[in-house]
Chains A and B, each alone.
Chain A
Amino acid sequence: MIRLLVYLLLALAFAGPVRAQSPADAAYTRLASDSYAEIEASIVGLAASGDPRTAPVIQALAEGRLFYRPADKALFVKQGDAVTDARTGVPAPATEGLKPVRANNKVRRALDSALGTLNLLAPDPGKRREAAEAVFKARDATVLPALEAALSRETDAGVKRTLQEARAAVVLAKPGSTEADRLAAVATIQGRADGDAMGILRALSADPSAAVQAAAAKGVAAIETRLALIAGASNVWYGISLGSVLLLAAIGLAITFGVMGIINMAHGEMVMLGAYTTFLVQEAIRAHAPGLFEFSLAIAIPAAFLVGGGVGVGIERLVIRHLYGRPLETLLATFGISLILQQTVRSIFGPTNREVGAPQFMTGAFDLFGLSITWGRFWIVVFALAVFFGLMFVLRRTSFGLKTRAVTQNRRMAAAMGIRTPWVDALTFGLGSGIAGIAGVALSQIDNVSPNLGQGYIIDSFLVVVFGGVGSLWGTLVAALSIGVANKFLEPYAGAVLAKILLLVFIILFIQKRPRGLFALKGRSVEA
C-alpha cells in the first residue's frame, strides 16, 4: 500500500520535468566529452537532477558500458551485444565509431557519490534507507542538496529518520555550518544512539563552538547510557531465553522429583525421546504431506507428550513402583533405564545428529527497542511459560491435580478416601515424563538431536529444582530464570564455561546455606 503511494508520488513528481527539457538533458550532453572535469561536473548534475532514470546511465558509466558518438554526442549503453539509447532507453541500431566515456579516480568518486544519491530516491524504501546509511557514513557535503530533495519527498517515517540523521552527519562534517544547525544536528545524531553516532559526537570534542562541544559530550554520555541499557536488556533477554530452556527441561522434573519425590535420572532421556518424536513427525510430513510442514511442531507436541508420557508410565509400572521410599535406589535404577533408552535410540537412529527443521514462524528475527530477538527463541520462551502455567492449572484446578496432591501429601489418607493411589502415581509420573517429552519438541529447535541430548540437561534440571525448592513450582520458575539470567550476566566477564562452573559452585554453596532451596516448605514435618 505504502509502496503504491510512493510510486504514485514519484510519478507525480517526475511527470513534468521528464516531458519538458529536463535538467538532466544538459548534463547528458556534457558527459560525451574527453575532459574528466566535464564528465565529473556532468555526473554531479545528473545526480542533482534527482531523475531516477539517470541511475542506469551512471551505473553503466561506472561499469565502463557507457559510450558516445563523437558526431552528435549521443549516448549509448551497451549491455552485452545490445545497445540502447542512454536518454530514452530505446534499443538503438548498432552503430560504428562509438567511444567509451572514460573515468579516472576523481570521476569514480563522483560516480559512487552520485549512485548513492540517486538511490536516495529509489522506489524501494529498503534501498533508500541503505543509501541514506551510506551517506551517513560518507558524510560528503556535496550530497546535501540531493539529501534535502530526498527529505522533502520522503514519506516513510523510518527512512525519513535515517535521512535526517544522514543530513545531520553531513552538516557536522561540513566546516561552514552555523552553530544552531550543528546543535540541532547533534540532537538528531544523539537520537540514533549507536557506535557510529558516538564516533561522530566524539569527533566534535575539537569543535570551535563550546556549546556544540558540550552538547556533543552530553550526547556521548546519553548514548553510552542507552547502549549500556540495551546491553543489559539483551543480557536479560538471553538469560530469560536460557532460563526458559532450563525451565522446559526442569519442569517435568518439578513434578516427578518435586511433587512425587522420585529421582528420575532418565528424565533427560524423555526430553531426548520428545526431540526424536519431532524428527519422526517431520520425516513423515516430508514424505506424505509436505504442505503440513508449517504445522509439524504443533503435531509433534501431542505426539511427544504421548511418547514421553507412555514411556514414563511404563517405567513407573515396571520399575519405580517397586522402589517407593528408597530414593537412592530409584536413582540407580532410573540411571540404568537412561542408559538403555540412550542405547536404544542410538541403535535405531545412529549416533549422529538428526536434522530437525524449523517452520517459517520460528525463523528470522524482529527488533524491539534496538534489541534483535529471534522468533525461534521468542516462541520457546512463550512455550515454556505456557507449559508452566498449563501445568499449574492442571495441578491446582483439576480433579486429577487434586488427587495428585492428596496422594503425595498423605498417601494413606488418600487411599482411605477411595483414591486409587497406584493409578494416580502412574499418571502423575506419566504427566511429568510427558512434559519432558514436549520440552524435547522445543529443544529440538535449538539443540543437536542426538542420543546424548538428554544427558546435557539432567544435572542442570536437578539443580534448578533443588535450587528453587523441592515441591515448589514457582520456585522452579524463579530458579530457572534467575540461573539463566545470572549465567548470561557472568558470561561477558568469565566466559561461557567458567560462568557455568561459577554458577554450579554457587548453587552447591547455596544448598549448604538453604538445604531446602529458595522456596522451601517450612514446618515441623519437613525436617523430621
Chain B
Amino acid sequence: MAPRTPLLAMIDTKGWIFLGVLLAVCLIVPLFNLAVPPGSPLHVPTYVVSLLGKYLCYALLALSLDLVWGYGGILSLGHGAFFGLGGYAMGMYLMRQIGPRGVYGHPVLPDFMVFLNYKELPWYWLGFDFFPFAALMVLLVPGLLGFLFGWLAFRSRVTGVYLSIITQAMTYALMLAFFRNDMGLGGNNGLTDFKDILDFNVQAQGVRVTLFVLTAVALALGYLIARFMTVSAYGKILVAIRDAEPRTRFLGYRPHHYKALAFTVSAMMAGVAGALYVPQVGIINPSEFTPTNSIEAVIWVAVGGRGTLVGAALGAVLINYAKTLLTGAMPEAWLFALGALFVLVTLFLPQGIVGTLIARLGDRKARIAARLPPEPDIPPRLLEEGRGS
C-alpha cells in the first residue's frame, strides 16, 4: 500500500537472484565461448551456447504460461501454438533471407515452393523479407490469436478444464493446418536450411552468441513485464479472478477483460520465445503445434512452481536439461521419467520447487503470494448441492 512504489521495489529477493543469474550467464557463456580457446577444458562449444539458448527460449515460454496459469488460473494446453506462430513468423523471414541461394536457385521462391510448383509467393509471405515487419508479426500474430481466442472464450465464461480442452483443440487444429502443403508454409518439413539473419550468417559463432544473449535479455524483460503486471492492482485483480471469479463480477469487474489482457500478453511472450528459438535450432515445423508439446510446457511450470514466475523459468531449464541428458543416455527412460514427473509433482510437490522453498524459507508475504489457488473448477455434477434460499 506504499504510495508510488519505485519501479525497482517490485523485484523481490528471488527476482534479484534470477536476474543476477541471468546476467552472470550472459557474461560467462560468451566469455568462455569466444575468449577461451577450443582446446581448453573451460571452453564452451558453440553448440552448447545454442542449446542453452534453446533452454532460455523454453524458459520464456514457461514464464508466459505461468502468467496466465499461475495468476489467472487459465490452464492453457495450447501455448505451443503461440510459440509456433512466433517461430513461423521468424522462419518466414529467415526463408526470405535465403534469396536465390536455395537448391533450386529460384530468385524469389523458397525451395519447397519450387518443389510444389508454386508460381509466385503467396500474399501472406509479402513483407517478410523486411525484418521490422517480421518482428512485428512475431508479436502481432500470436497476440491477435491470443486476444481473439481469449476474448471469445472468457466472455462466454468458458473456464477450467473446458478452457483447457479447447486450447488443446486450438493447437491441434493449427497442427493439422500447418501439416498441409497447401498452407504454403512448407507442410511436413516446415521451414529450414536458413542462411542469414539480418545479413549475418546464422551459423557463425558470433551470431550464435549474440542470439543467446538476446534470448537472455528477452527472458529478463519478459520477467520484468510479468512481474510488473502481477504486482500491480491489475495482478491483484487477476489473482482475485482466479480465486473467486463471480465475486469480482459483483464488485463491478469484467473478468474477461482482465483475462484476455493476460492471455494476449502471454501469447506475445510465447511468440517471442518461438521467434528466438527458430534461428538457434535452425528449423520450425508443425510438430511444434502438437498438443503434447504444450502439455510438456505446463509441467515445466508445475515443477518450478506456478505463480512464482522465476520457478517457471527454472523448471523449464531443469527439465529440458534432464531431457537432453536422458534422451542421449537412455532414450527409453525419458518418457518414463517425464510421465513420473507429472504424477509425482502433482501428488507430492503441488507448489513446485520454488513454491515449496518459499513456503519453507520465505517471509510471510511471499508465502501468501505462493499460496495455491483453490480451484473453482469442480465439474458441474460435483457442484450439485442446492443452495438453500
Contact = CB atoms under 8 A, between A and B. Distances in A.
A and B touch in the complex (CB under 8 A): yes
Interface of A: 257-261, 263, 265, 319, 322-323, 325-333, 335-340, 342-344, 346-347, 408-411, 455, 459, 462-463, 466, 470-471, 497-498, 500-501, 504-505, 507-509, 511-513, 515-516, 521, 524-526, 528
A322 B386 CA distance: 25
Contacts of A528: 383, 387
B381 A471 contact: yes
A508 B166 contact: yes
B380 A516 contact: yes
B346 A466 contact: no
A339 B339 contact: yes
A340 B335 contact: yes
Given A459-B291, A512-B153, A343 B347 contact: no
B158 A512 contact: yes
Nearest to B295: A335
B164 A525 contact: no
A344 B333 CA distance: 10
B385 interface: yes
Interface in B63-115: 75
A118 to B, nearest CB: 52
Does more than half of chain A's interface fall in helix, strand or loop, or is it mixed? helix
B257 to A, nearest CB: 16
Contacts of B378: 261, 325, 327
Interface stretch (B51-59, B125-133, B173-181): B173-181
8 contacts: A328-B160, A328-B375, A339-B342, A343-B336, A409-B381, A459-B291, A470-B381, A513-B156
A10 to B, nearest CB: 59
Interface string B359-389: 0000000000000000101111111111100
A335 B161 CA distance: 13
A328 B339 contact: no
B169 A336 contact: no
By CB atoms of chain A within 10 A, which of B75, B298, B375, B379 has the most?
A: B379
Contacts of A511: 153, 156, 158, 162, 166
B385 A410 contact: yes
B375 A331 contact: no
A347 B339 CA distance: 15
B342 A336 contact: yes
B340 to A, nearest CB: 7
A505 B379 CA distance: 24
Nearest to B168: A459
A410 B336 contact: no
B342 A409 contact: no
A312 to B, nearest CB: 15
B380 A333 contact: no
Contacts of A260: 381
A110 B325 CA distance: 78
A525 B156 contact: no
Contacts of A408: 381-382
Does more than half of chain B's interface fall in helix, strand or loop, or is it mixed? helix
A525 B387 contact: yes
A332 B172 contact: no
A343 B331 CA distance: 10
B332 A466 contact: no
Interface string B298-313: 1100100000000000
B380 A526 contact: yes
Nearest to A324: B382
B387 to A, nearest CB: 7
Contact of B343 (A327, A336, A343, A505): A336
Given A327-B160, A342-B335, 20 more contacts: A328-B75, A329-B346, A329-B350, A332-B346, A336-B342, A337-B339, A340-B339, A344-B336, A410-B385, A411-B382, A471-B381, A500-B176, A501-B176, A504-B169, A504-B173, A508-B170, A521-B380, A521-B381, A524-B386, A524-B387
A250 to B, nearest CB: 12
By CB atoms of chain A within 10 A, which of B295, B342, B347 has the most?
A: B342
Contacts of A344: 336
Given A322-B347, A342-B335, A343-B332, A497 B176 contact: yes
By CB atoms of chain B within 10 A, which of A257, A470, A504, A516 has the most?
A: A504
B152 interface: yes
> How many B residues touch the partner, as a band?
35 or more
A323 B347 contact: yes
Interface of B: 75, 152-153, 155-158, 160-162, 164-166, 168-170, 172-173, 176-177, 179-180, 291-292, 295, 298-299, 302, 332, 335-336, 338-343, 345-347, 350, 375, 377-387
A498 B384 contact: no
B382 to A, nearest CB: 5
Given A501-B173, A508-B170, A261 B382 contact: yes
B335 A333 contact: no
Given A327-B379, A512-B158, A515-B162, A333 B384 contact: no
B351 to A, nearest CB: 12
B166 to A, nearest CB: 5
Contacts of A333: 342-343, 346-347
Contacts of A338: 339
Contacts of B153: 511-512
A337 B343 contact: yes
Contacts of A512: 152-153, 155-156, 158
Contacts of A466: 162, 165-166
A263 to B, nearest CB: 5
B179 A504 contact: no
Contacts of A327: 160-161, 375, 377-379
4 tightest CB-CB pairs across the interface, nearest first?
A336-B342, A261-B379, A339-B339, A340-B339
B259 to A, nearest CB: 14
A344 B157 CA distance: 39
Nearest to A322: B347
Given A408-B381, A504-B169, A336 B179 contact: no
B103 to A, nearest CB: 27
Contact of A336 (B172, B340, B383): B340
Contacts of B335: 339-340, 342-343, 346
Contacts of B387: 524-525, 528
Nearest to A471: B381
Given A325-B378, A462-B165, A504-B173, A332 B332 contact: no
A462 B352 CA distance: 28
A307 B161 CA distance: 27
A511 B153 CA distance: 8
A521 B156 CA distance: 17
Contacts of B341: 336
A336 B339 contact: yes
B157 to A, nearest CB: 6
Contact of A525 (B160, B332, B375, B384): B384
A500 B172 CA distance: 10
Contacts of A525: 380, 383-387
A325 B342 contact: no
A505 B380 contact: no
By CB atoms of chain B within 10 A, which of A330, A336, A346, A512 has the most?
A: A336
Contacts of A261: 378-382
B144 to A, nearest CB: 16
A150 to B, nearest CB: 53
Nearest to B166: A508
Contacts of B342: 332-333, 335-337, 339
B161 A263 contact: yes
Contacts of A455: 292
By CB atoms of chain A within 10 A, which of B153, B295, B347, B384 has the most?
A: B384
Contacts of A508: 166, 169-170, 173
Nearest to A344: B336
A194 B332 CA distance: 56
Given A329-B346, A331-B164, A463 B338 contact: no
A459 B291 CA distance: 9
Contacts of B380: 261, 470-471, 516, 521, 525-526
A526 B152 CA distance: 21
